[in-house]
Amino acid sequence: MSQKPGVLVTRKLPQAVEERLRRDYEPEFNAEDRLYPSEELLHRARGKAAIVACHTEHFTSEVIDRLPDTVRAITNFSVGVDHVDLSAAKSRGLIVTNTPDVLSDATAEIAMLLMLGAARRAGEGERLVRAAKWDSWSPAFMVGIQVTGKRLGVIGMGRVGQVTAERARGFEMEILYHNRSRLDPAAEKGARYYQALDQMLPECEFLSIHCPATAETRGLINAARIERLPDGAIVVNTARGAVVDDDALIAALESGKLAAAGLDVFNNEPDINPKYRKLENTFLLPHIGSATRETRDAMGFRALDNLDAILTGQEPRDRVA
């Protein structure tokens, strides 16, 4: 019997996923679930056929150039691949995959949670109760903004954006969207398409970000674009922190230009801009968009499906490089 291929698994994965890895491969697990520095990652990759990675590892061109020759693939346990220099991977002949489709429902749930939490001041209210500072009720107490019936602008009408729009329709929200290309009418389901983002923004009482972080979208939500939003709008981000200019968003929250923001992703996470923590009108979550048992299992199995294909000489379903 031939020896099973060695695989480096950079973070702790769901039990069922790790069991499948043990069955089919010779995996090196990260039992402590700690973030490997680049030098340690390179050392642990020696002799491995592939790396099962997460968005927490940064495969820069330098890291990719220094990977052992045995490594044929990086199969990501994530949809976003902005942590991998895809051009460097292609140049080296390294196969890179991701896990689309399987986390759309879970991430859309978090987008709706952020909308509701930011609009209804849920973070403030929860802190009041926990600190035993809730001591009265009045008609003016904890007044927020109603979500039902408002206009929601969606940036990036891919899988997650479309599911978020569908959930928002349950709140009778009017859907607007900006995307690289227009969807067919059946997929639009009555949503209004804006080819130019700047034309959509003035109509958005809520704005939900669902585009990937690319060279074109980094800092997309900057001071100029925030200024185009209606006064009192609410911004929600479940995509990537890099799409937002932190200084611009914080300034708009401090000034009252924006009523609130709901954020599950950040620049430089987990070491986020500390000003976010000081703002009462932010509803903050620690990047848990895909964090359900069902979704994390599905992500792991999708990553392993891609790994199986690569190491048996087949084309993986979710190849991005």
Active-site positions read 240, 269, 287
User: Which residue(s) pair with 192 in the sheet?
Assistant: 176
CA distance 154 to 168: 11
User: Which residue(s) pair with 98 in the sheet?
Assistant: none
Compute φ and ψ for 50, nearest 5 degrees. -160, 165
**E strands within 188-237?**
192-193, 206-209, 233-237
Q: CB neighbours of 132 closer than 8 A, spacing ≥ 6?
A: none
SS3 310: helix
Closest CA to 289 of 164, 151, 123: 164
Whether the CB-CB separation of 258 and 233 falls below 8 Å is answered with: yes
Whether the CB-CB separation of 77 and 226 falls below 8 Å is answered with: no
CA distance 50 to 291: 25
Compute φ and ψ for 153, nearest 5 degrees. -95, 130
Closest CA to 208 of 152, 271, 142, 270: 152
